[in-house]
Chain A
Amino acid sequence: MSLCLVKRWCETPLMRRVLQFKVYRRKIQSDNNRTYTLLRHRWMKRLPVFCSGFRMASTQTHKDTIDLSKFPVDRIRNFCIIAHIDHGKSTLADRLLEMTGAIAKTENNKQVLDKLQVERERGITVKAQTASLIYRHQGEQYLLNLIDTPGHVDFSYEVSRSISACQGVLLIVDANQGIQAQTVANFYLAFEAQLAIIPVINKIDLKNADPERVELQIEKVFDIPREECIRISAKLGTNVEAVLQAVVYRVPAPLASIDDPFKALVFDSNFDHYRGVVANIAVFGGRVRKGDRIVSAHLGKSYEVNELGLLRPDEHPTQKLFAGQVGYIIAGMKDVKEAQIGDTLYLQEQPVEALPGFKPAKAMVFAGMFPMDQSDYPGLRSAIDRLTLNDSSVTVQRDSSMALGAGWRLGFLGLLHMEVFNQRLEQEYNASVIVTAPTVPYKAVLSSAKLIKEHGSEEITIVNPAQFPDRSVVSEYLEPMVLGTILSPDSYTGKIMALCLNRRGIQKNMVYIDDQRVMMKYLFPLNEIVVDFYDLLKSMSSGYASFDYENAGYQAADLIKMNILLNGQPVEELITIVHRARAYSQGKAMCERLKDSIPRQMFEVAVQAAIGSKVIARETIKAFRKNVLAKCYGGDITRKMKLLKKQAEGKKKMRRIGNVEVPKDAFINVLKRKIK
């Protein structure tokens, strides 16, 4: 099974995303370490974009310099921590930082590497962070580079790049919950990259912890001998020392020679308004120093190194970085797109072959974003600009809708990515946005020579449903597929299989990972899991099932364009691409939602879903039979006028489709994601 998976992995782009919405929220204690709180504030005020605040502050405070030449390659270990959500990755990172003196040991170190508000609130890691730990073991000093990865496979491209900078991983599994979908996904990422895998069973202090069972699962699913598992409690610090020792003993030193020409992998990048792009790099060969001229292999542009150093996890400038080491570099890049994750850097005078596997991130989920009020457009634009400055994986296209006005169609790596982006927009930029229901990129294989010429290719990608080409000019439509992994207690299998079937899922595989838990693999159309699949899965399994998916290419599909009609008039912004088998249920649901959000009018309104000229679903909004205030005398005028003026104002903002007046809210209700 694992072989087949690895094979699939190799076939599919190096992208995996996990749909792993955070359900549990970690409480952030308000008594946070003062220093950190302070820095955070400062950074938030000064820098509209994250991720650099700690560093800025620390560059001013660190006086001692570290002689990096003291760390030859064999005393360096590069590793990352991968885990299912909430299994304790960030807590373990906190302990490791404390034990190696990177941060002060206090009660309040909670997810030190999770800097974004959304990360701390949701208990997830979005942005990979890096920390170099100096660990003294048996008289030797080791440089342990912890490359913290995003916890979600939406960000699996980042995960995979982070992994490619490492030689080993700590695979954390909750002693109570056992292996979850994301654990599996992460394992295969590491396995495929041929990293040393150290299984760590966390939370052994919990009352219901069952480390034996989890060890057996690990043995069965991952084929790792149970003796290799390390049982810890990251929260209490129990046995964490053993983890550090295992890193030294079991993770191989990087294969890098100081005598090779300089060659580094960009595995992360951030944008800082004052200094430009800060790229995180892993040095695969040679050395680099301040003043060197370097080149990005992807763009071929050259830059001068202004600053470089270690991340501990704050920026700690040094003079040089040597082969095997991990650090940051600032070289006058103005845009994160100039330092794309996976890119290779080399010295201008010593070109090298680029490291393999670089692919620009590809958006898999699209959604329209519109300002709540058109006057907020410029503000929202600059907020989106600032956020995308730091996240090159978001694609931005201008879009406009008759109902919602001017806005954008943004492409995301996955649903969580979209949600996080949204939340950051709202929290950090205080921008209130309408987000339409997510759609996936379909493809059409054109049959008309004229159209092929027009588009310059036979196969086109359709992001906006309004541009869906007619069946008559298309030989085939294609839809994106994913391979989903579901782990669940076996008592829910029946329900879950019914759900998957309903979502056009095809079962590929089903394995008991212990006597109670089942792992199932399904091939799904991405469109079917993009909206509410995960929520349903969670609720039908009382929260016990976990889900993760990876992209699995495109497949031919019987897709059709569905129109929504109001009294016979099509509504452009509600055009939807659906699979023929799902047209009725989706059309019905949209009609129902519209019916609930269009106010009654003086005449009857038919809300219909139609395919071509055929109506497949209908709801009726009955006409008002009476709408007049009973009492209106001298004393009631003011109140009455207020109400009517409000309605008159609302009327001006209504969109008229035929003779039907539709409030903007109605579109929003139909188009926006349902928030549970």
Chain B
Amino acid sequence: MIKHTLRAGRRAVSPGLRCFSETSGGGVSEDGLERTSSPPLTKQASLYVHWPYCLRRCSYCNFNKYIPRENNDPVMTECLQRETETLLQLSQVSCITSVFFGGGTPSLAHPSTIAAVLQTVSRRAYLSDEAEITLEVNPTPVGKSKLEDFCRAGVNRFSIGVQSLQDEDLKSLGRDHSSHQALQAVEEARRLCPGRVSVDVMFGRPKQSVASWEKELSELLRVCDDHVSLYQLTLERGTQLFKQVLGGGVTVPGEDVMAEMYRCARRTLHQDGLLQYEVSNFARHQAVSHHNTGYWKGRQYIGVGPGAHGRFVPLGEGGVLREARTQTLDPDAWIREVQQRGHGTRRRIQLSHLELLEEVLVMGMRMTDGINHKHWEMFSPQLGLREVFGTTSDVQELLQSGHLILDDRGLRCSWDGLVLLDSILPALLVELERQISPRLQIDHHGDGQTKSQTSSPP
């Protein structure tokens, strides 16, 4: 079964009901967290749980995954629980807003593992019945047969790695399911979690044409639920596909073709009511992924499992700055560390004020709504969006060319601008640094200001 998908999975989503929540899709309002008396950023977090194992390697995937030599599920389960406990304790968060099981192939895990982790979370923090609990699924017959048990274990949203509806492509990408099996898995997932199933699709695959992509998309639209994630296939160093392309044995569509595929997908999905809310994510009936939205809004998250990343303030040990944390990559080493000291955190980097704002900017701009003033103010109470970006000529040019919008709502890309986000961000980052760094310096050299004031003759 191999699971799908490229990197860590976390994607997909759609709100909706789930086994124990009866809520309708609109139950969780998008800005709910900000609107409701916004608890301090450090009081809550989302949780990402990484299941590192796959049955085989997909030719395009460079993510942290391992082909297990033996079944050590019980040990893995125990360690995931243990690390969850440790990190929850360290972060001192009182509420976990969402949980995402990614991988690897988390649908290979036993449903009881999922249940155990969720129980651990509930013991240590508040986990609402309505909280979004997503599991990445590899749409094999086995994967499909376990969906119901996963729901019982607490999962209320599935992200299904369909990737392609062309069996030939699935084969060449190293996937271990057919398109028919994938569609069956989607159907089953929709039966279990209506309105809360996401499908992942990849474009820019070897030999793919714009026409065949369009056809595939319309087929997909017939079967998908309320959430779609579309990814342009990215060649990653070290993958088999990378070598094949480098060696000339395989060709992927050129830049212009890729751009055309993306453009046409955006349009087609939009026409079907699947509104784009992030570069690669589209939702109908507001069925956005709350978990992923948390990343783009710069909220705290705790990463558990081999190679998982986290961003939170370790209040439990008196920390005041947010840290970028990475867990040990190799599962065996990670297991040893968790067994020895309760967690497998390998790297901790404190984020400075500027670095935090940089992340907020880079992640926030990926959303079609961009960054609103209130959102920015939570991280930068002193310096508003207009003050940071409103004056410089570089940004002015982007505003004038229509790529960027800065208005009463906030800062965001236009429809055309979003496609070029990575060309826009460097200019914004340069400006952010220019505005933030000198202020930090001036704060340290307050006398400099006084001097200039007194020196001006009355």
Contact = CB atoms under 8 A, between A and B. Distances in A.
B334 interface: no
A634 B420 contact: no
B274 interface: no
B183 interface: no
A5 to B, nearest CB: 55
Contact of A633 (B10, B326, B420, B423): B10
Interface string A607-626: 00000000000000000111
Given A635-B48, A635-B303, A628 B422 contact: yes
Contacts of B433: 648
Interface stretch (B17-25, B68-76, B358-366, B435-443): B358-366
Given A626-B262, A641-B358, A641-B362, A634 B422 contact: no
A659 B400 CA distance: 13
Contact of B362 (A625, A626, A630, A640): A640
B238 interface: no
A630 B430 contact: no
Given A633-B295, A635-B48, A625 B430 contact: no
Contacts of A624: 420, 423
A162 B230 CA distance: 76
Interface in B84-113: none
B403 A602 contact: yes
A637 B295 contact: yes
Nearest to B418: A628
A644 B420 contact: no
A648 B429 contact: yes
A627 B234 contact: no
A628 B309 contact: no
Interface string B294-320: 010000010100011111000000000
B256 interface: yes
B423 A602 contact: yes
Given A640-B362, A648-B429, A633 B421 contact: no
Nearest to B48: A634
Given A634-B309, A648-B430, A641 B359 contact: yes
Interface string A35-75: 00000000000000000000000000000000000000000
A632 interface: yes
A455 interface: no
Contacts of A33: none
B292 interface: yes
A651 interface: yes
Contacts of B355: 641
Given A637-B324, A637-B363, A648-B426, A628 B421 contact: yes
A652 B430 contact: yes
Given A633-B11, A635-B303, A651 B420 contact: no
Contacts of A637: 295, 309, 311, 324, 359, 362-363
A636 to B, nearest CB: 6
Interface in B258-275: 258-260, 262-263
Contacts of A4: none
A377 B384 CA distance: 40
Contact of A631 (B231, B326, B401): B231
Contacts of B422: 627-629, 644, 647
Interface string B326-352: 100000000000000000000000000
B31 interface: no
B420 A627 contact: yes
A633 B8 contact: yes
Given A630-B279, A632-B279, A659 B10 contact: no
A447 interface: no
Interface in A214-244: none
Nearest to B261: A626
A516 interface: no
A635 B291 CA distance: 13
Contacts of B307: 635
Contacts of B311: 634, 637
B234 A630 contact: yes
A81 B192 CA distance: 95
Contacts of A603: 401
Given A625-B419, A626-B259, A632-B366, A651 B295 contact: no
A626 B430 contact: no
A109 interface: no
B292 A633 contact: yes
B7 interface: yes
A628 B279 contact: yes
B427 interface: yes
**A624, A634, A652, A659 pick with most chain B CB within 10 angstroms:** A634
B279 A626 contact: no
A29 interface: no
Nearest to B425: A644
**A633, A640, A651 pick with most chain B CB within 10 angstroms:** A633
A636 B11 CA distance: 12
A106 interface: no
A630 B308 contact: no
B397 interface: yes
Nearest to A640: B362
B429 A644 contact: yes
A651 B403 CA distance: 18
A638 interface: yes
Contacts of A633: 7-8, 10-11, 292, 295
A601 B429 contact: no
A69 to B, nearest CB: 76
A644 B429 CA distance: 8
B289 to A, nearest CB: 10
Nearest to A625: B259
A634 B234 CA distance: 18
A645 interface: yes
B48 A630 contact: no
Contacts of B231: 630-631
B6 interface: yes
B8 A647 contact: no
B280 interface: yes
Interface string B395-427: 001000101000000000000001111111111
B447 interface: no
B308 A635 contact: yes
B232 interface: yes
Contacts of B168: none
A668 to B, nearest CB: 21
A631 B362 contact: no
A634 B401 contact: no
A629 B426 CA distance: 13
Nearest to A628: B421
Contacts of B423: 601-602, 624, 627
B258 A626 contact: yes
Given A648-B433, A659-B397, A630 B232 contact: yes
B429 A645 contact: yes
B426 A626 contact: no
A634 B426 contact: no
A603 B403 CA distance: 11
A74 B424 CA distance: 83
A626 B397 contact: no
Given A628-B421, A638-B326, 6 more contacts: A602-B403, A602-B423, A602-B424, A628-B366, A631-B234, A648-B425
26 contacts: A601-B423, A602-B423, A624-B420, A625-B255, A625-B260, A625-B419, A626-B258, A629-B279, A630-B230, A630-B233, A630-B280, A632-B363, A633-B8, A634-B10, A634-B311, A635-B10, A635-B307, A635-B308, A636-B7, A636-B8, A638-B309, A641-B358, A648-B426, A648-B433, A651-B430, A659-B397
Top 3 closest A-B pairs, CB basis?
A625-B259, A626-B259, A648-B429
Interface of B: 6-8, 10-11, 48, 230-234, 255-256, 258-260, 262-263, 279-280, 292, 295, 301, 303, 307-311, 324, 326, 355, 358-359, 362-363, 366, 397, 401, 403, 418-427, 429-430, 433
Interface of A: 601-603, 624-638, 640-641, 644-645, 647-648, 650-652, 659
